[in-house]
Structure 1
Amino acid sequence: MNEPTRLSWTDVRDKIRARILSRTYGPGDKLPRDEDIAQEFGCARTTVHRAMQDLSQIGLVERKRKGGTHVRLDPVTRATFDIPITRREVEQRGSKYDYQLISRKMEQTPLPVMARFGIQRPVEMLRIKALHLADNCPYIFEDRWVDTRSNADILDADLIRESANEWLVRNKPYSRVDVRFYAMNAEGESAEYLSTREGTALFVIERTTWIGDDPITTVQAVAAPGYQLLAQG
């Protein structure tokens, strides 16, 4: 009779990570003790400890002596790509942050959005346009689509007080992100909201996230002239 295979530390890590992504353990939640997880999974406590070390290093959990292990308030954002909270980005540069919700309404997805998500038919999603400001000057103009089938609770979020960027980072862990960087010439809304002349070269960050196979959001974030992207390893 074959004995059951004991889990490796990577197996334990992946199981805990899956629970965080599915929000079995939500942001801020305290996880069970290492001893209790080891008993549940039938593995050694050292195996759980190694798994938790890795989850801490990639930014999913925070471990404190005598304080236990908690899911970070903004989990997963450093697991594959650091999705910044724009408010923090502005404040860390020493500027005063402000935010304006331009519009939020349900619309049918156009072909470019369908292509980003990899879906074959148009569906109705929440489209959010917003402007982030630094020292009362335009900083980033966002044109965002949110799939409310996997994010129904965003319909009740106060997006006048808190940006969709910050709400999603705090409330919607993701398992996959696609990121594109490119330049575009200012025109129409981008020129208007960023207070620049049409034809001005603008830097664009385009991000699309999923949880499993379910789309979460895709955003085209167009930065004002002079924007600098800082990456730290």
Structure 2
Amino acid sequence: MEDTTKLNTSKLGTKEYWDNFYSVEKQNFEENSEDTGECWFADSDAEEKMVEFLLDNLGEYKIQDNCSMIDLGTGNGHLLFSLLEEGFKGALLGVDYSEKSVEFATEILDNKYSESENVKFVAADIFSEQWTPGEFDVVLDKGTLDAIALSGITFQDNKTVVDVYPKVIEKILGQNGVLLITSCNFTEDELIKIIETDSLKKWKSINYPVFEFGGMKGATICSVAFVKTSTK
């Protein structure tokens, strides 16, 4: 049976593409401070639904208004800024392998949220063994696995970024912590197949409008929450 979690490579999986993309967005922001860049999956209200999910599940596992969160592939930082505006006051860290992304998000932070001391952006390769950011209560991913799955990068034993992604999550997610991931390239079943391990288990998913075509039902996007049930 064909493994549908294996995607073809694309320029969308390259650091060069995103450096160029965020260089342009940074320039646009400097010319118009109201232009804070593109909000990914805005047509599906994914960001709003992710924030709403966290608000609706306050008190569950380690989701608190003062919990620590890390946003993988933070881009322009829009998701973290939305959480900040909704009253989350724990440490919020955005990481991206594109230095231009981090420069752009930091510039927005300095210009629009200068009084917020709990938000920080850093450039990092999340697959590097030298990357040790510590453990977080909540890990967020809005389209990042989608993008890096297109990179074609392989590691030891010919493992892909999709293969090693769960290990990255286990490394940075504290026990009883929550991973909330949104994808347009993978179905919910595929995300479960990719991410579930002995210690990472599906918890809940977010509902999106369902379409029907040719007798088949589906959604254009999915968001799934996983819980780290043990430290193994």
Q: TM-score, normalised by structure 2?
A: 0.27
Higher relative contact order (CA 8 A, sep 6+): 2
Could you say which structure has the larger radius of gyration?
1
Q: Which one has the bigger helix percentage?
A: 2
Q: TM-score, normalised by structure 1?
A: 0.27
Q: Which one has the bigger strand percentage?
A: 1
